[in-house]
Amino acid sequence: MTRSKLIAVALGLALTAPAVPAFAAWRCSIHPPKTASDAQLTSMAKLSKSKAERIALRRVDHGAKIAGAEIEAEQGCLIWSFDLKVPGHKGVQEVNVDAGNGAILDVHHESAGSESSEG
């Protein structure tokens, strides 16, 4: 293969590669110890559950309703995690809100099957 063909192939690969890795670490404001209890996690949160809930609902909108909520340590971050049921859609939208500053760290859809297997 000629040098110009190698450059063209490399450039083509670079242009089609995702700009952000598939799994990127969250940038969060509170990093709880892995052994923290739910009560300890709640006491570390600077953002109330109700405030985090409003942030999550604003992010998804479309008449969504809270189907589940919990505070947890995930990927080394203290988060409020909300499962939102959106009318007309199967499964839930999970919204993870930083429990320190209210930043949305992740939003993704979970099918009814994957959500029930999380247990």
Residue 1 lies inside a defined structural domain of this protein: no
Q: Any idea what the CATH number is for the domain that residue 96 is in?
A: 3.10.450.40
- Examine residue 6 and state whether it is found in any structural domain, yes or no: no
Q: What is the pLDDT of residues 15-61, one digit of tens each?
A: 444 333 444 688 999 999 999 999 999 999 999 999 999 999 999 97
Residue 19 lies in a domain: no
10 in a structural domain: no
For residue 80, the enclosing domain spans 26-116
The conformation of residue 5, written as its DSSP 8-state character, comes to: H
Is residue 107 in some structural domain?
yes
**Is 95 exposed, middle or buried, given 0-12, 13-18 or 19+ CB atoms closer than 10 A?**
buried
pTM of the model: 0.74
State pLDDT tens for residues 61-95: 789 999 999 999 999 999 999 999 999 989 999 99
- Does any domain span residue 14? no
Helix H or strand E segment including 112: helix 112-116
Number of folded domains in the chain?
A: 1
Those residues with Cβ within 8 angstroms of residue 58's Cβ, 6 or more apart along the chain or in another chain: none
